[in-house]
């Protein structure tokens, strides 16, 4: 994949549909995700927002019954094209999951895992990557003295930041976040939110969240999805202060969902 042809939009989604077996989960979505901004996707449970997110790095394909139609372009390249290697796409489009999922290994091994599977073996280089990534995920100071301890000994919020560091270690272009704070307490959530805002300078971030306040606090653009359709997609300020669609207004004012 050639990343030098940088377009203004990282992802261009056109007429995209997705089915789980016979159930259509996503209907005719068209949207463009801007570079180096935070795009939030909100909506009630089951509206297809996580499905859409997981489609962007083709993680959705781990579910065998999924099939799709339409097009998603990443930097002007069709991600469903036959010659597109899914592993290569995922090295450019990283992902942070809902529940912190560090590997049952040391903190160091967790962060070094990505670079290692992509062939980086020199200890010195790995050391640098690990430190840089942990600093990038704002957890270096907390773990620098215990890099060889198992990541499972950390708190949930720390584990999630390790997962973010693990993702940063391969220097992706985009980071997809699937409700990254829903399993965390308010203080850890705050730390992660601050981190996300900092990461915006170097990365494009797409975040799915249940929490409308969170979307309002951190994102530049917000998409509202309902029953698999994209109802409204605009600047966050505008969507929350002056929604165009009645359904968006009902949702953000808490009339349902």
Residues forming contacts to another protein in the complex (CB under 8 A) are 57, 59, 62, 64, 87-91, 94-95, 97, 99, 101-105, 113-114, 117-118, 150, 152, 163, 166-167, 170
79 vs 252, which CB is nearer to another protein?
79
Q: How far is the CB of 212 from another protein (least distance, A)?
A: 26
89 vs 107, which CB is nearer to another protein?
89
165 vs 212, which CB is nearer to another protein?
165
As to burial, measured by CB atoms within 10 angstroms (0-12 exposed, 13-18 middle, 19+ buried), residue 28 is: middle
46 vs 153, which CB is nearer to another protein?
153
Q: How far is the CB of 138 from another protein (least distance, A)?
A: 20
Q: What tokens does 172 get?
A: 């992706």
Distance CA 199, CA 154 (A): 22
CB of 80 closer than 8 Å to CB of 68? yes
Q: How far is the CB of 177 from another protein (least distance, A)?
A: 11
Distance CA 106, CA 151 (A): 5
Q: At 90, which helix (H) or strand (E)? A: helix 86-92
CB of 163 closer than 8 Å to CB of 102? yes
Q: How far is the CB of 95 from another protein (least distance, A)?
A: 4
């Amino acid at each position: 994949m050639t990343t030098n042809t940088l377009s203004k939009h990282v992802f261009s989604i056109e007429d995209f549909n997705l089915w789980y077996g016979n159930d259509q989960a996503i209907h005719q979505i068209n949207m463009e995700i801007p570079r180096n901004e935070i795009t939030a996707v909100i909506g009630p449970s089951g509206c297809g927002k996580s499905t859409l997110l997981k489609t962007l790095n083709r993680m959705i394909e781990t579910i065998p019954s999924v099939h799709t139609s339409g097009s998603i372009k990443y930097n002007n390249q069709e991600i469903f094209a036959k010659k597109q290697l899914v592993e290569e796409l995922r090295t450019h489009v990283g992902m942070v999951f809902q529940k912190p999922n560090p590997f049952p290994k040391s903190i160091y091994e967790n962060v070094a895992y990505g670079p290692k599977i992509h062939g980086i073996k020199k200890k010195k280089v790995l050391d640098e990557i690990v430190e840089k990534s942990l600093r990038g995920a704002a957890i270096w100071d907390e773990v620098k003295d215990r890099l060889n301890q198992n990541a499972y000994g950390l708190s949930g919020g720390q584990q999630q930041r390790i997962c973010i560091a693990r993702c940063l270690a391969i220097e992706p272009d985009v980071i997809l976040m699937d409700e990254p704070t829903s399993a965390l307490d308010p203080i850890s959530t705050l730390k992660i939110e601050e981190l996300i805002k900092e990461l915006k300078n170097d990365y494009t971030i797409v975040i799915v969240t249940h929490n409308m306040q969170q979307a309002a606090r951190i994102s530049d653009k917000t998409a509202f999805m309902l029953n698999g359709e994209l109802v409204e997609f605009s600047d966050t300020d505008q969507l929350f202060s002056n929604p165009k669609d009645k359904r968006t207004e009902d949702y953000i004012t808490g009339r349902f969902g």
